[in-house]
Copies of this chain bind each other. A is one copy, B any other.
């Protein structure tokens, strides 16, 4: 059964991005620290077209994401500011070869034609709400899992709607002090979690939780 999973790196004080996010600094001040564990991996570097890197306990965690067949992200993560897309619309943070290599569905209030990149990444802009985006993503995943990617607001909407099956937190030993806090919704207390596994790795602990229904 295709699962909807939410996977994110989070600071020990609960932030998934630092303060003062901007086009030049999409992760906010200090936010890059959340992803150092991943960027150190040979597997990540290979996917990014780079050489070198480490093989460690995070490698299997990173490669396990291979079962993901489609991604849902929020407008904030795709970027380009808010409001209508305009005449020369923002094409994403990632240049000519976005690192997703699969169908990506972007939640937005503003309709826009799809984008396709040669490397296999496509962006489909969905302005009909989270249920429609999930249906399209499940179809595109073709039996694989669907991942809700950052930002936090998309994850929060899917969590609040009871649609997430699995939460993966890559807990990083850093205090950001401020920024985008992932879990701050009182309604979360209605959710029952089951700890599936915890994996210790250099500079990160990988935590997986199942939502119990």
Question: Inside 8 A of A189's CB, which chain B residues have their CB?
Answer: 30, 175-178
Identify the closest chain B residue to A179 (Cβ): B189
Question: Inside 8 A of A14's CB, which chain B residues have their CB?
Answer: 13-14, 183
Closest beta carbon of chain B to A160's beta carbon, Å: 12
Question: Inside 8 A of A193's CB, which chain B residues have their CB?
Answer: 12, 173-175
Chain A residues 178 to 192 lying within 8 A of chain B, measured CB to CB, are 178, 183-191
- A173-B200 contact given A13-B183, A205-B205, CB 8 Å threshold: no
A30, B193: Cα distance in complex, Å: 14
Question: Inside 8 A of A190's CB, which chain B residues have their CB?
Answer: 177
Identify the closest chain B residue to A206 (Cβ): B198
Q: Does A197 contact B (CB under 8 A)?
A: yes
A176, B202: Cα distance in complex, Å: 29
The 8 A CB mask of A8-36 against B (1 = contact, 0 = none) is 00001110000000000000001000000
- The quantity of this chain's copies bound in the complex is 2
Closest beta carbon of chain B to A78's beta carbon, Å: 26
Q: Considering the complex of A and B, which 4 residue pairs feature the smallest CB-CB distances, nearest first?
A: A177-B189, A13-B183, A175-B188, A198-B200
Chosen A-B contacts, 26 in total, with CB atoms closer than 8 Å, are A12-B193, A13-B14, A13-B183, A13-B184, A13-B188, A14-B14, A14-B183, A30-B189, A171-B171, A173-B195, A174-B193, A175-B183, A175-B191, A176-B189, A177-B185, A177-B187, A177-B188, A177-B189, A178-B186, A178-B189, A195-B202, A195-B203, A195-B204, A195-B205, A197-B200, A198-B205
